[in-house]
A = this chain, B = another copy of it.
Amino acid sequence: MSPIEALTKLRTELGPIDHSTDARKLRSKSRDRFAQSPVLRDLLRGRNAEIFIAPRDKEELRTAVAACARHRIPITVRGAGSGQFGQGVPLSGGAVIDVTALAGVLGWHGDRGRQIPRTVRALTGTVVADIDAAIRPSGWELRMHPSTSQQATVGGYIAGGHAGIGSCQWGILRDTGNITALEVMTVEEHPRLIELRGRDVNTVHHAYGANGIITEVELPVAPAWEWHELVISFPEFEQAARFSVDICNSDGVLKKVVSPHAHPLPQYFPDLAGLVPDGEAMVLLMAAVQSVPNVEDLVHANGGRIRYRCLEGKGTYGAPLYEFTWGHSMMHYQRRNKKLIGLLALYPQENLYESILRIHRDFAELGPLHLEMKRIDGGLSCQGSPVFEFESQQQLAAITAQLQQSGLFIANTHTPVLGASGMKPWGPKEAAFKREFDPYGLLAQGKADDVVGTDTVSTSTALPNSGWSYRLSN
Which of B138, B250, B294, B472 contacts A198, CB < 8 Å? B294
State in angstroms the CA–CA spacing of A381 and B220 once bound together.
26
Is the CB of A87 closer than 8 A to any CB of chain B?
no
Q: Which of B115, B175, B180, B253 contacts A176 (CB 8 A)?
A: B253
Cross-chain contact A177 with B291 (CB below 8 angstroms): yes
The 8 A CB mask of A66-110 against B (1 = contact, 0 = none) is 000000000000000000000000000000000000000000000
The minimal Cβ–Cβ distance linking A194 to chain B, given in whole angstroms, is 17
Check if A273 is an interface residue, CB within 8 A of chain B: no
Which stretch (A222-230, A261-269, A312-320) binds chain B? A222-230
Given the complex of chains A and B, what is the CA–CA distance between A198 and B118 in angstroms?
A: 31
B293 touches A118 (CB 8 A): no
A365 within 8 A of partner (CB)? no
B472 and A246 contacting across the interface, CB-CB below 8 Å: yes
- On chain A, the number of residues with a Cβ less than 8 Å from chain B's Cβ atoms is 50
Q: How far is the CA of A176 from the CA of B379 in the complex (A)?
A: 18
Interchain CB contact under 8 A, A116 and B171: no
Would B250 and A472 count as touching, CB distance under 8 A? yes
The residue on B at minimum CB distance from A379 is: B249
Contact mask for chain A residues 291-333; partner B; CB cutoff 8 A; 1 contact, 0 none: 1011011100000000000000000000000000000000000
Q: Say whether A3 faces chain B, with CB atoms less than 8 Å apart.
A: no
Q: A286: CB under 8 A from chain B?
A: no
> A199 near B297 (CB under 8 angstroms)?
yes
Q: Within the complex, which residue of B198, B220, B252, B253 is in contact with A252, where a contact is CB–CB below 8 Å? A: B220
> Would you call A139 an interface residue if the criterion is a C-beta within 8 Å of the partner chain's C-beta atoms?
yes
C-alpha spacing A250/B138, complex, angstroms: 27
| Most chain B beta carbons < 10 A, residue from A118, A225, A296 | A118
A244 to chain B, nearest CB (A): 13
- Is A114 engaged at the interface, CB distance under 8 Å to the other chain? yes
A375 within 8 A of B: yes
User: Which residue on chain B has the smallest CB distance to residue A173?
Assistant: B252
- Nearest residue in B to A137 (C-beta to C-beta)? B114
A377-409 contact mask (Cβ, 8 Å, vs B): 1 or 0: 111100000000000000000000000000000
A5 beta carbon closer than 8 Å to chain B: no
Please tell me if the beta carbons of A290 and B220 are within 8 angstroms of each other in the complex.
yes
Evaluate contact between B252 and A143: CB separation under 8 angstroms. Answer: yes
A139's partner among B114, B176, B378 (CB-CB below 8 A) is B114
Q: Which residues of B contact A222 (CB under 8 A)?
A: 223
* A119 lies within 8 A of chain B by Cβ: yes
A59 contacts partner chain B, Cβ-Cβ < 8 Å? no
- Compute how far the CA of A178 lies from the CA of B252 in the bound complex, rounded to whole angstroms: 5
A289 at the interface (CB under 8 A from B): yes
Query: A343 on the interface (CB 8 Å rule)?
Result: no
How far is it, in angstroms, between the C-alpha of A360 and the C-alpha of B180 when the chains are bound? 36
Whether a CB of chain B sits under 8 angstroms from the CB of A455 is: no
Which residues 106-142 of A have a CB within 8 angstroms of B? Answer: 111, 114-116, 118-119, 137-139
List A279-295 residues whose CB lies under 8 Å from chain B. Answer: 288-291, 293-294
Question: How far apart are the CA atoms of A48 and B138 in the complex, in Å?
Answer: 53
Residues 145-181 of A, flagged 1 when their CB comes within 8 A of B and 0 if not, give 0000000000000000000000001110001111010
Residues of B contacting A118 in the complex (Cβ-Cβ under 8 angstroms): 225-226, 288-290
A354 to chain B, nearest CB (A): 14
Verify if A341 is at the interface (C-beta below 8 Å from B).
Answer: no
> Is A254's beta carbon under 8 Å from chain B?
yes
Q: Using a CB–CB distance below 8 Å, which chain A residues touch chain B?
A: 111, 114-116, 118-119, 137-139, 143, 169-171, 175-178, 180, 197-199, 220, 222-226, 246, 249-254, 288-291, 293-294, 296-298, 350, 375, 377-380, 472
